Amino acid sequence: MIEQIFQEIYTATPEVVVRAPGRVNLIGEHTDYNDGFVLPAAIDRSIAFAGRRRADRVVRVHSVDFGASVEFSLDDIQKDDKNSWSNYIRGVSKYLEEDGHQLTGADMVFGGNVPREAGLSSSAAVEVGAAAFWKKLLGLGVDPVYLIKLARKAENQFVGVPCGIMDQFISGLGRENHALFLDCRGLSYRHVPLRSDVKIVVCNSGVKRALAQSEYEVRLKQCRQAVAQIASTGLAGKSLRDLAPEDIEAARPVLSDILYRRARHVVSENYRVLEAVKVLEAGDLGRFGQLMNASHESLRDDYEVSSKELDVLVELARKQPGVLGARMTGAGFGGCTVNLVRQDAAEAFAEAVRRGYQDALGLKAEIYIFKASQGALSA
């Protein structure tokens, strides 16, 4: 498919094709930028890149999804506000160059089926896809974690979105039929098998994440403030990752109600992830589902990043047969919920939630049954 489009546009055969998946986070929300723990899975929706080298220093990029093309020189990579979809690729290319990797010009096309602005990390897929593209095209001998960090840097510094490392990490190093347990401080990780009799069902509220970026920045600052104020009580810690639930209780007198609740979410969520990994490895999906439910409550009440639509989807989900757990996923303020549903109940679940959502809010939910997939940089 992508090869064919490349052929049509450049009347040539691509030298390389790579694919980078989107992701869904099972548990561990708003913990990554607090040095904490996450448990995402890569999904079977991806962004594909096809391309070939050029003899000069010009990069020509065609976006299938935007039906548009841009061209830039590797010697002067600037942000393009008119074609902001190209900035992910520009950023990745710029930082590779800055690190001394001599890129060549290239012709490329990219496109895919990761829903955009739905909280399924289509931008991370573009960044990681671009990094995987350069790695393969030029045979760069670099390790996956280096490229993952570089992709995040492109998002943080070039595009200007202050995200954590989770999305790029899972897009790079996801594994088929597995979730990925990641410690966002040391970046140590391990893959945890997912059972085939349980499905990951994702419900897209259809509401674009309007407030997501500004509120995300507010949360990030609140977490830093909480750490600083907690430190004034003599409880040292570089980040909320270093604190236990009893520390937050002990520090409560010095925290405003908001900072107390923000900190309580992050700290309790880290503990939930650790337990979730343990019970998943032990095959106790009932308990896993309860932890997902508790995560949602904490995001809704303490972290305040859910929305009416997400709460409705979660409530509907929990009434259906075969559901083990339901929660919002990703940054919040719109986007998707993630549900763990017994395989034999998954189709009926999707239908019932779709209907219920339409009845309750007059809105259409898209529902996906995902399969955990391979990352772009996995060996």
Which residues make up the interface to ligand GLA (CB under 6 A)? 29-30, 32-33, 163-164, 166-167, 330-331
Minimum CB separation of residue 207 from ligand GLA in Å reads 16
Query: Which position among 32, 167, 242, 302 bears the catalytic label?
Result: 167
The first and second tokens of residue 330, run together, are 């990703």
Contact call for residues 334 and 361 (beta carbons, < 8 A): no
Nearer to ligand GLA, 24 or 109 (CB): 24
Of the pair 111, 164, the CB lying nearest ligand GLA is at: 164
Choice between 119 and 289, CB closer to ligand GLA: 119
Nearer to ligand GLA, 172 or 330 (CB): 330
- Please provide the distance, in angstroms rounded to a whole number, between the alpha carbons at the two ends of the chain: 24
Closest approach, Cβ 103 to ligand GLA, in A, equals 26
Residue by residue, what is the 3-state secondary structure of the chain?
Answer: CHHHHHHHHHCCCCCEEEEEEEEEEEECCCCHHHCCEEEEEEEEEEEEEEEEECCCCEEEEEECCCCEEEEEECCCCCCCCCCHHHHHHHHHHHHHHHCCCCCCCEEEEEEECCCCCCCCCHHHHHHHHHHHHHHHHHCCCCCHHHHHHHHHHHHHHHHCCCCCCHHHHHHHHCCCCEEEEEECCCCCEEEEECCCCEEEEEEECCCCCCCHHHHHHHHHHHHHHHHHHHHCCCCCCCCHHHCCHHHHHHHHHHCCHHHHHHHHHHHHHHHHHHHHHHHHHCCCHHHHHHHHHHHHHHHHHCCCCCCHHHHHHHHHHHCCCCEEEEEEECCCCCCEEEEEEEHHHHHHHHHHHHHHHHHHHCCCCEEEEECCCCCCCCC
Nearer to ligand GLA, 107 or 269 (CB): 269
CB of 308 to ligand GLA, least distance (A): 19
With beta carbons less than 8 A apart as the criterion, state whether 59 and 93 touch.
Answer: yes
Residue 180 and residue 192 in contact, taking contact as beta carbons nearer than 8 Å: yes
Q: How far is the CB of 154 from ligand GLA (least distance, A)?
A: 13
User: Shortest approach of ligand GLA to residue 186 CB, angstroms?
Assistant: 17
- Minimum separation from the CB atom of position 348 to ligand GLA (A): 30
Q: Which is closer to ligand GLA, CB of 167 or CB of 242?
A: 167
| CA gap 255, 265 in Å, rounded | 14
Q: How far is CA 328 from CA 85, 117, 270, 271, in A?
A: 26, 15, 16, 18
User: CB-wise, 59 or 336, nearer to ligand GLA?
Assistant: 336
Least distance from ligand GLA to the Cβ atom of residue 170, Å: 10
Q: Is 167 a catalytic residue?
A: yes
Q: Enumerate the active-site residues.
A: 167
